[in-house]
Amino acid sequence: MLTIATLFWGMGFAWAKNVGEAANNSAGVPQGSSLGPMLMLAIRFLAAAVLWAAVFPQSLRGWTWPSVRRGLLIGITMCAGVVPQHLGLDQSSEAVTAFLTNLTVVFVPLMVAIITFRLPTRRMFVACAVAFSGIYLLTGAKPTGLSAGEVLGVVCAVAFAIEVLLLNWLMPKDSIPRMTLMMFGVCAIVCAIVAVMSPGFGRIEMTRLATAPVIAQIALLTVLTTAVSFGLMTAFQPKVDPTRAAIIYLFEPVFASAFAWITEPDAAMSRLSIFGAGLIVLANIIIEIKLPVKSAAQPRDASRDSAGAVDTNGDA
């Protein structure tokens, strides 16, 4: 189920970029402005909240103040991820944004280490070095550092890492339909406020924006990329270890790159970027894949040869 969610998220990068650009064009503001992405997110999450409440009417019942606090915390954290992600998407390519978002799988185990007061292992340090080398190559090996859009991609990865941990911690304590509805509602309100405050909001020409392709992509973003994907995440991620969930999300940049290439062949990544992306995936593998470790040889106990060996924990 989480893999299916990443499929729709990956496809959504292209749709979100197209809708954001269309909104900016309709208001006559330059590409890279916050208006397009924020307006797209506000419409997307508002429509998803209405759809969710209609399909799951139980999400409207049983609210308590602890439920409100949990929902607000999860919603604000998710909003802290999707806002910089889509602002960065408007200033970078779908593939680069998706791969930078994928750094969540590095930040999750690091945060777990901080929370549990245990220093990261040498393997984790190596993985971080490999991952950030991958970022350098993925973004074109520019000596001037990351662009503004790429920095926003890293910021959203940190926010999503926090959200992964919060979902595993808070979701089992409450109702999944209620928490999901609150997530959508918080994101819709925050993004709508930012959109209204963005330059050019009053100049939007709805006749230019309300075209068949834009409406179709907003519908796909609402149903598949938001309601279905985040619904699957809130329902099934708490059943999986957070670091395991993070590595499952590795499929997102793969799907995003493939879908961007299918819909826009000119968006194909360069060989250098592909190598950098491969390093990021390698970093994820270094962190997540646990190799079997041979236990030290134990001195033989002749009195127990007939019963079989016993390990240091006393398990047969």
Q: Which of 54-58, 65-69, 121-125, 238-242 has the lowest mean pLDDT?
A: 121-125
Please give the average per-residue pLDDT across 54-81, as a whole number: 92
Q: Could you tell me which residue, 27 or 277, shows the higher pLDDT?
A: 27
**Are the CB atoms for 270 and 93 separated by under 8 Å?**
no
The residue with tokens 């709805």 is 206
Residue 218 has pLDDT above 80, yes or no: yes
Tokens describing residue 27: 């208001």
pLDDT above 70: percentage of residues in the chain: 83
> Of 95, 84, 93, 94, whose CA–CA distance to 278 is shortest?
95
Residue 48 has pLDDT above 60, yes or no: yes
Around Cβ 66, how many Cβ atoms within 10 Å?
Answer: 11
Taking only the tens place, the pLDDT of each residue in 90-102 is 677 666 777 777 7
Please give the average per-residue pLDDT across 21-50, as a whole number: 89
| Residue 208, pLDDT score | 82
Q: Could you tell me which residue, 283 or 227, shows the higher pLDDT?
A: 227
Query: What's this model's pTM, rounded to 2 decimal places?
Result: 0.75
Q: What distance in Å separates the CA atoms of residue 31 and residue 242, rounded to the nearest whole number? A: 36
Mean confidence (pLDDT) of the chain: 80
What confidence tier does 252 reach under pLDDT thresholds 50, 70, 90?
confident
Taking only the tens place, the pLDDT of each residue in 193-205 is 989 998 888 888 8
For residues 11, 14, 16 and 20, what is the CA-based torsion angle, rounded to 10 degrees?
Answer: 180
